[in-house]
Amino acid sequence: MEEAIVSAVTQSDDEVVVALSGIPDRPGSAAAIFDAIADEHANVDTILQNLAHGTVELSFSVPEDDLPATRRALAKAQETIGTIAVEEIADLGKVSLVGAGMRSHPGVAARMFQTLADEGVNIRMISTSPIKISCMVARHEVDRAVRALHEAFRLELERRPGGTSG
């Protein structure tokens, strides 16, 4: 099998996952939430939605600095959609594989997940796109995950100022 075109491992060390449950399963619920967040100028990254027992569960990540704005936005959104349960999962970071050929190369995600498992890194959330696979992990495990992924995908580990790698 030809090697997948994984060009980089990226990281972020300041993620907070906001998990919402009890959202009404009707048109406009997600729009009300994300319009309110946009109005507060908070940056949302990973978004996952699930249907559960007639309501919707929605999780998304924001940089830690945007958490106060996100809280204000969610309070505002609940005025429109009703009361929802909000859970914040802090102390997370994100590691991502980036590359143009991932969609056409089966097994990249499996290799990433196995590499992290072999390192004892627990994955809290996964998102994918045609050019990126991202995993939310415990913040203290980000550097170890980045090093392991660089090794598994045979990428050079470039040290950047401040000790981060990319």
> Which two three-digit tokens encode residue 53?
């027992």
Every domain of the chain and the residues it spans = 8-13+91-152, 16-90
Question: Which CATH superfamily does the domain covering 16-90 fall into?
Answer: ACT domain (3.30.70.260)
Q: Which amino acid is at 144?
A: R
pLDDT at 165 over 50: no
Q: Which CATH number fits domain 8-13+91-152: 3.40.50.1220, 3.90.110.10, 3.40.50.1000, 3.30.70.260?
A: 3.30.70.260
The CA distance from 145 to 153, in Å, is: 12
Mean pLDDT of 43-59: 89
Among 157, 153, 113, which Cα is nearest to 5's?
Answer: 153
Q: Are 143 and 14 in contact (CB under 8 A)?
A: no
The CA distance from 66 to 70, in Å, is: 6
Among 55, 47, 54, 46, which Cα is nearest to 21's?
Answer: 55
Query: pLDDT (tens digit, 9 = 90+) per residue, 107-138?
Result: 899 999 999 999 999 999 999 888 999 999 99
pTM over 0.75: yes
**Residue 75: CA count within 13 A, CB half-sphere:** 7
